[in-house]
Amino acid sequence: MNNTLSYRAEPQVDLASGRITIDEFEGGPFVEPNPVGKIIERHTRQIFETRDAVVREALIRLGWTPPPTSRRAASEARAVGEAEGDACLAKATSGDDFNADAVRACMLRDLSLWSSKGLSSEDLVSMAKARGHVPHDDRSFGPIVAGLARKGLITQIGSCPRKRGNGTSGGRIWALTEAGRSQAISFA
């Protein structure tokens, strides 16, 4: 008699590394009085999607409260972030020490001079600061980069690990558009 053995272990959650693994065992044909003898493979899946029902249940059992996954919550969080960035930029430009228009020109010029493959947001900020554009808070640069993208002067061409975010994801790589290239030339 041929049977197949299949077993799925409980999820193992390692909060320190952020890994969730599930061991799955699959067995091949075995003959009846020896049902233990022929486990063929053991698969380990690492799961990073917290929408997976098994993973969510494991995390909730550990006391984790899932973040809201609705689009409304995400758009509200983005709106709050944009408002706070705009407030930070307004404070930076309220004095005479920081000129947002000069930073925009600097970023466009740097992208035109140094970037055949694009530059990350963090590189653009570092280059602007090296040229003397230093606000009270580096978050003032976010609305400037976002504004360049909204105006169609730069476009995101990739992503990268963040340098100041300790290698976390979310870094963006920007390149000039044709409109941005013509505007960068006018600043040169």
Please report the pLDDT score of residue 133 as a whole number.
Answer: 94
Report whether 142 contacts 85 (CB < 8 A).
yes
Average pLDDT, the chain: 76
Instruction: Name which CATH class applies to 95-187.
Output: mainly alpha
For residue 25, the model assigns a pLDDT of: 55
Would you list the domain boundaries of the chain?
5-61, 95-187
Residue bearing the bigger pLDDT, 109 or 74 = 109
Q: What pLDDT digit, counting tens, does each position of 36-83 carry?
A: 444 444 445 554 444 566 766 777 777 776 665 667 777 888 888 889
Distance separating alpha carbons of residues 180 and 112, to the nearest angstrom: 9
In the three-class reduction of DSSP (H, G, I as helix; E, B as strand; rest coil), residue 168 is classed as: coil
Q: Which two tokens stand for residue 102?
A: 């000069």
Residues paired with residue 154 on neighbouring β-strands, in sequence order:
176
For the record, the structure tokens of 24 come out as 């799955």
Q: What is the pLDDT of residues 10-49, one digit of tens each?
A: 666 666 555 666 665 555 554 344 444 444 444 455 544 4
Give the phi and the psi of residue 176 in degrees, each rounded to 5: -75, 145
Phi and psi at 88, nearest 5°, equal: -65, -45
